Amino acid sequence: MTDSNEAALTGTALADSIERLAETEPLVQHLTNEVTMNDVANLTLHWDALPVMADSTGDAGEMAELASAVLCNVGQVPDWKVEAMHEAAGTATDRGIPVVLDPVGVGATPTRQAVAEALLSEIEFAVIKGNYGEISALAGVEADVKGVESIGDYEEIEETARSLAASTGAVVVASGVEDVVADADRAVRLSAGHERLSEVVGTGCMLGATIAAFTGAIEDPYAAAVHGTLAFGIAGERAADQPHAGPASYRTAFHDTVAGLSPEAVADVDVEDRVERLS
C-alpha cells in the first residue's frame, strides 16, 4: 500500500487494501449504539476484521490496549457510555491506535453536540465520518439534522469537510448521495453506492464500522477512508443486483456481498471513473 494520493486511487490499490484487511484481521473495538450493534459487529466480521463491543468503564480501556482501531459512535449517549468512550479513545490515542468518530445525530440536539465536542477536545481522531448535516454541525456551519438524518442542501460540503479536517487533524468523510473524503490538503468526491442503502436502518453506522476496520489495517488513514468508503459503496451496488424482494432481503444481500468482496472482485474496478478530485 502506498501513501501516494494518485496511486491510491486505482482498483489495484483498493484490492490491496482489502487483501491487507484479510491478512491482518484487525481487532476493532466498537463503542456504539444498541440499535445497530448486531449489524455493525457482523459487517466488521464480514470485512475479515474482528469485532468486539467493549463499552463499559474499566473493560473499555483495557480492551483498547489490545485493539487495532477504536470506533466511537454517539448514537446513544448515556453517561456511562460517554465515560467509556473517553476511556477507550484516550487509551488508544496514548498507544498510537487509530480512533474513528461517528457523530450520529450531532446537530439534532445540544446534548449530542456537547458529547462530540468534548471528545474532539480531548482525542486525536484518525477519521471523522458523518453525513453532510453531522459534519456541517461539527464544523460550526448551519446544518439541518432531523433525528439522525441529514436533510437540506449542502452545496459547500467539500469546503466544510476540509475545514473540519484542518481544525481537528483528522481525515473527514462526509457521506451522502456522493461521499466526500478530505484532509487539510486534499479532497475527493466518490461516486459509489445505491439508493437501497438509504432504506435500511444503520447503514451509516455500518459505514463507520467499515472505515474503522480499514483504518485498523491500513497505515495511511486517508487511503483507509477512501478505500473503506469505496468498498462499502461498491458492495451496496452489487447487493442491489442480487435477487431481493425489498429492504429486508437487500440488507441480507448486502452483508453477503461484503463477505464475498474479495481482492480479485474489485481489482478491475475503474476507480478513476468514480473519483472527482476537488481543488
Annotated binding site for ATP: 129, 175
Between vectors from CA 140 to CA 215 and to CA 277, what angle results, nearest 5°?
50
Give the end-to-end CA distance of the chain in Å, rounded to a whole number. 24
Q: How many other CB atoms are found less than 10 A from the CB of residue 11?
A: 18
Tell me the binding residues for substrate: 53, 202
Check: CB of residue 33 under 8 Å from CB of residue 205. Answer: yes
The sign one gets for the Cα dihedral 115, 121, 127, 133 is positive
Q: Classify residue 176 by its DSSP letter.
A: S
Written as one letter, the residue type at 151 is I
SS3 (DSSP) at 43: helix
- Which residue in this structure is represented by grid cell 469485532? 51
CA distance 225 to 251: 22
Annotated binding residues, written as ranges, equal: 53, 129, 175, 202
Q: Which of 131, 144, 254, 150 is nearest to 193 (CA)?
A: 254
Amino acid 130 reads G
> What secondary structure letter does DSSP report for 242?
S
User: How far, in Å, CA of 48 to CA of 25, rounded?
Assistant: 6
Quick one: angle between helices 221-240 and 203-217, nearest 10? 140
φ and ψ at residue 258, rounded to 5 degrees: -60, -45
